[in-house]
Chain A
Amino acid sequence: EPEVTQTPSHQVTQMGQEVILRCVPISNHLYFYWYRQILGQKVEFLVSFYNNEISEKSEIFDDQFSVERPDGSNFTLKIRSTKLEDSAMYFCASSEAGQPQHFGDGTRLSIL
């Protein structure tokens, strides 16, 4: 069964550094999403992306965050200047229109 893949599985970064999290969505999906889950808390929506632009973003997704689909297969989340509170699991998801979102296994981001 096709799946969403995310790399790296674990990223350790110094505070203030830029980080790029990568995702390969399911190939025929057109809708892409990023969510995060701080340890012990619920999964939170960050951003949705369709037709090469952001459809919706949450309050968490401030100017430090950006998303890109640089080619036909990858979908990336960039955090420009990381803060300690950015430490979390980041999940990528993809879907067809009005269909279930399928999640990757996430990138654990640790900010030191």
Chain B
Amino acid sequence: SQKIEQNSEALNIQEGKTATLTCNYTNYSPAYLQWYRQDPGRGPVFLLLIRENEKEKRKERLKVTFDTTLKQSLFHITASQPADSATYLCALALHSGAGSYQLTFGKGTKLSVIP
């Protein structure tokens, strides 16, 4: 069966440290993978996209890796701040015809950065 799993439901980390979130999947062949941030009562906010032929992407304090052999993506936030506290969602993009892609989401990891 197809599964997408994010390693933990909740992660607490000290301010200034690097947070590492994991996304594993089975029986999918995604065209690309995206990471989103979701705050309570709000919609997902796009952070980073990484394609199947890319190993690593960076944006400011964020870094994502994508290993299609291991079927795993790692999402890192360096020098974490309390404002980074949110739920982070991994989403696989599956081609659904005519250039559109349906996103299959993980349950998310709730990150709390402690001052």
Contacts and interface: CB of A to CB of B under 8 A. Distances in A.
B71 interface: no
Given A44-B105, A55-B100, A100-B34, A105 B46 contact: no
Interface in B95-115: 96-108
Interface residues of A, number: 29
A55 B96 contact: yes
A26 B43 CA distance: 15
Contact of A103 (B31, B45, B99, B102): B45
Interface in B46-105: 46, 49, 89, 91, 96-105
Nearest to B48: A100
Contacts of B46: 100-103
B99 A45 contact: no
B43 A91 contact: yes
B43 A50 contact: no
B99 A97 contact: yes
A101 B31 CA distance: 14
Contacts of A28: none
B60 to A, nearest CB: 16
A42 B91 CA distance: 10
A101 B46 CA distance: 7
B27 to A, nearest CB: 17
B15 to A, nearest CB: 27
27 contacts: A4-B43, A33-B103, A43-B44, A43-B91, A43-B105, A45-B102, A48-B96, A48-B100, A48-B102, A50-B99, A50-B100, A55-B98, A55-B100, A56-B96, A56-B102, A91-B43, A91-B44, A98-B31, A99-B49, A100-B34, A101-B34, A101-B46, A101-B103, A103-B36, A105-B42, A106-B42, A106-B43
Which 9 residue pairs of A and B lie closest in terms of their CB atoms, listed nearest first?
A56-B96, A103-B43, A48-B100, A43-B105, A55-B100, A97-B99, A100-B46, A45-B102, A105-B43
Interface of A: 4, 31, 33, 35, 41-45, 48-51, 55-56, 58, 91, 93, 95, 97-106
